[in-house]
């Protein structure tokens, strides 16, 4: 088994590591050390390693952004999902996840995997849905059902998977005994599935009980395990509560068990978090999980932004990125309302990329400022072609600038009173 983490520990340098080192502008020795420590992961299944762009996620590297695509039980349109994926790749997503729950899940996954970015899934969705068809209820899913689906995803070449291994029967039972009430309850779909399964079957979480077997499967393909936060807060009023913290403690133990086997892991985080709790949440994960890469869903800093949740999310993501978060899962304007359109996917991605870069300016300093310096110099010279080339959305920037005037020189905001014309000859 050619496990990246084990090779890094032995000092072996793959070409992939050299490429990421050059792309990120970090010394090779630095990157090798971080991979060996589990502080940087490279999602790349051995089954499709030649087909996927290289992305390093973790300490000392630029903050990455993930885009979710996928069908639902009420809206299944493969062509629309493929268009979303195409747009996501065009506008620079670093990774992509398929969260499909409607239609032919195997076909959808395999089609989406044709895009050359690291690709993730949540296998428990498919296992639960198949149990409904086979046994009449999702909670009748067997442990064998679940692990067969996980292995199928690995064999297909999935690069990273969300597994909700940190939520335990004891945590759920204690929460119920303490009358631990949340405003929003359990809002993770995978977390709700696993919790319902445990309560119905009165059994331990199979992803926790059989964690060693999960590690064994992951090591066969060098798949990155993304340890899902089944109990993440779904309201700012539930942030940092007992359930969230209990799960994080268990996840911290699972991280170390994965590292012992040479399996790469990320830790997933909230969710809905008030502004003043974003930085402490990032610092807590980095401390408890000994620097394992942190993958955050936003976080949203208020619950009232329906239709604009990509903005609420970007506010939280910028703070999280600055504090050390490593991968930001985008949110779209459709969050909490609908499956997003392709245009909303683009809006959500760009909002998250702005947030990630804003955080990198704080986190990485001069390394992150190169484009800001270049675009500012281009603005000073009224070099519109250069400005467009450095934008996150060149087409939109050009369209807006040429809305009223297509000539050279200043834009229509200032016209002849442009500061760079006033000061030009002084």
Residue 154 pLDDT exceeds 80: yes
Residue 33: burial class (beta carbons within 10 Å; 0-12, 13-18, 19+): middle
Residue 317 pLDDT exceeds 90: yes
**Which spans in 202-241 are helix H?**
206-209, 211-221
Task: Domain count for the chain, please give it.
Answer: 2
Partners of 66 in beta bridges: 95, 329
Give dist(CA 110, CA 98) in Å, integer: 10
Q: What sign has the CA pseudo-torsion 345, 347, 353, 355?
A: negative
Cα–Cα separations (whole angstroms), residue 414 to 210, 340, 388, 399, 409 = 65, 37, 19, 18, 11
Residue 178 pLDDT exceeds 70: no
Q: Are 243 and 258 in contact (CB under 8 A)?
A: no
Q: Mark whether 393 and 296 lie in a shared domain.
A: no
Q: Return the percentage of the chain with pLDDT > 70, whole number.
A: 98
On whether residue 28 sits in a domain, the answer given is no
Residue 406 pLDDT exceeds 90: no
On whether residue 21 sits in a domain, the answer given is no
Q: Mark whether 168 and 240 lie in a shared domain.
A: yes
**Which spans in 25-142 are helix H?**
28-37, 78-90, 105-112, 123-135
Decide which of 364, 381, 400 is a domain's last residue: 364
Q: Mark whether 67 and 110 lie in a shared domain.
A: yes
Residue 1 pLDDT exceeds 80: no
Q: How confident is the model at residue 173 (pLDDT cuts 50, 70, 90)?
A: confident
Give dist(CA 63, CA 57) in Å, integer: 7
- What does the pLDDT read at residue 361? 98
Q: Which residue's entry shows tokens 């405003």?
A: 183
Q: Which two tokens stand for residue 392?
A: 């996150």
On whether residue 60 sits in a domain, the answer given is yes
- pLDDT tens-digit map of 233-274: 999 999 999 999 999 999 999 999 999 999 999 999 999 999
Q: Are 261 and 197 in contact (CB under 8 A)?
A: no
* Preceding amide of 299 cis, omega within 30: yes
Q: Mark whether 278 and 401 lie in a shared domain.
A: no
- What does the pLDDT read at residue 157? 97
CA-based angle 42:48:50, to the nearest 5?
Answer: 80
Q: Mark whether 401 and 274 lie in a shared domain.
A: no
Q: What is the dihedral of CA 64, 322, 18, 22, to 10 degrees?
A: 100
User: At 250, which CATH number?
Assistant: 3.20.20.540
Give dist(CA 281, CA 283) in Å, integer: 6
- What does the pLDDT read at residue 250? 98
Range of the domain at 76: 44-364
Q: What sign has the CA pseudo-torsion 280, 282, 288, 291?
A: negative
On whether residue 22 sits in a domain, the answer given is no
Q: Mark whether 293 and 373 lie in a shared domain.
A: no
- 164: nearest Cα among 95, 68, 267, 243: 267
What letter does residue 334 receive in the DSSP assignment?
T
Q: Which residue has the higher pLDDT, 86 or 420?
A: 86
The mean of the pLDDT values for the chain is: 96
- What does the pLDDT read at residue 179? 59
- pLDDT tens-digit map of 30-61: 999 999 999 999 999 999 877 789 999 999 99
Mean pLDDT, residues 76-104: 98
Q: Mark whether 382 and 400 lie in a shared domain.
A: yes
On whether residue 31 sits in a domain, the answer given is no
- pLDDT tens-digit map of 292-312: 999 999 999 999 999 999 999
Mean pLDDT, residues 334-349: 98
- pLDDT tens-digit map of 346-361: 999 999 999 999 999 9
On whether residue 148 sits in a domain, the answer given is yes
Q: Mark whether 297 and 384 lie in a shared domain.
A: no
Give dist(CA 188, CA 172) in Å, integer: 14
Q: Mark whether 347 and 232 lie in a shared domain.
A: yes
* Preceding amide of 271 cis, omega within 30: yes
Q: Are 351 and 330 in contact (CB under 8 A)?
A: yes
Highest mean pLDDT among 177-181, 319-323, 418-422: 319-323
What pTM was estimated for this model as a whole?
0.96
Q: Mark whether 135 and 119 lie in a shared domain.
A: yes
Q: How many CB atoms are located within 10 Å of the residue 290 CB? A: 14
Q: Mark whether 173 and 271 lie in a shared domain.
A: yes
Q: Mark whether 172 and 205 lie in a shared domain.
A: yes
On whether residue 26 sits in a domain, the answer given is no
On whether residue 9 sits in a domain, the answer given is no
Coil, strand, or helix at residue 76? coil
Write out 344-413 in H/E/C secondary structure. Answer: HHHHHHHHHHHHHHHHHHHHHCHHHHHHHHHHHHHHHCCCHHHHHHHCCCHHHHHHHHCCCCCCCCCCCC
**Which of 17-29 are b and which e, b meaning 16 or more Cβ less than 10 Å from the residue's Cβ?**
beebbeebebeee
- 222: nearest Cα among 269, 154, 166: 154
Decide which of 333, 364, 395 is a domain's last residue: 364
Which CB contacts under 8 angstroms, 24+ apart, belong to 24-27? 24/56, 24/60, 24/61, 24/62, 25/367, 26/60, 26/61
């Amino acid at each position: 088994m050619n496990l990246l983490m084990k090779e890094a520990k032995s000092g072996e340098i793959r070409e992939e590591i050299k490429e990421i080192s050059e792309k990120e502008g970090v010394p090779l020795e630095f990157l090798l050390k971080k991979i060996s420590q589990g502080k940087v992961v490279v999602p790349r299944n051995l089954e499709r390693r030649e087909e996927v762009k290289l992305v390093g996620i973790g300490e000392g590297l630029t903050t990455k952004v993930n885009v979710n695509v996928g069908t639902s039980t009420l809206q299944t349109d493969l062509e629309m999902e493929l268009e979303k994926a195409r747009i996501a790749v065009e506008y620079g997503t670093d990774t992509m996840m398929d969260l499909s729950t409607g239609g032919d899940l195997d076909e959808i996954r395999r089609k989406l995997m044709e895009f050359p970015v690291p690709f993730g899934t949540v296998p428990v969705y498919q296992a639960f849905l198949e149990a409904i068809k086979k046994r009449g209820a999702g909670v009748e899913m067997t442990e064998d059902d679940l692990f067969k689906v996980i292995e199928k995803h690995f064999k297909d070449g999935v690069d990273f998977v969300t597994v909700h291994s940190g939520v335990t029967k004891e945590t759920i039972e204690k929460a119920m005994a303490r009358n631990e009430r949340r405003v929003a309850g359990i809002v993770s779909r995978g977390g709700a599935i696993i919790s319902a399964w445990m309560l119905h079957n009165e059994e331990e979480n199979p992803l926790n009980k059989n964690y060693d077997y999960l590690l064994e499967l992951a090591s066969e393909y060098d798949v990155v395990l993304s340890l899902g936060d089944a109990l993440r807060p779904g309201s700012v009023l539930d942030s940092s509560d007992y359930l969230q913290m209990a799960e994080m403690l268990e996840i911290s133990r699972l991280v170390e068990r994965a590292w012992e086997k040479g399996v790469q892991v990320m830790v997933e985080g909230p969710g809905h978090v008030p502004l003043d709790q974003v930085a402490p949440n990032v610092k807590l994960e980095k401390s408890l999980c000994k620097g394992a890469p942190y993958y955050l869903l936003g976080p949203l800093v208020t619950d009232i932004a329906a239709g604009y949740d990509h903005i609420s999310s970007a506010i939280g993501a910028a703070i999280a990125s600055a504090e050390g978060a490593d991968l930001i899962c985008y949110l779209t304007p459709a969050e909490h309302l609908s499956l997003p359109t392709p245009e909303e996917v683009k809006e959500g991605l760009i909002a998250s990329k702005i947030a990630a870069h804003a955080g990198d300016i704080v986190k990485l300093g001069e390394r992150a400022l190169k484009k800001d310096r270049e675009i500012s110099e281009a603005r000073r010279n009224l070099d519109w072609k250069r400005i467009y080339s450095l934008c996150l959305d060149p087409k939109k920037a050009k369209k807006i600038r040429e809305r009223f005037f297509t000539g050279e020189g200043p834009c229509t905001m200032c016209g002849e009173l442009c500061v760079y014309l006033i000061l030009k000859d002084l």
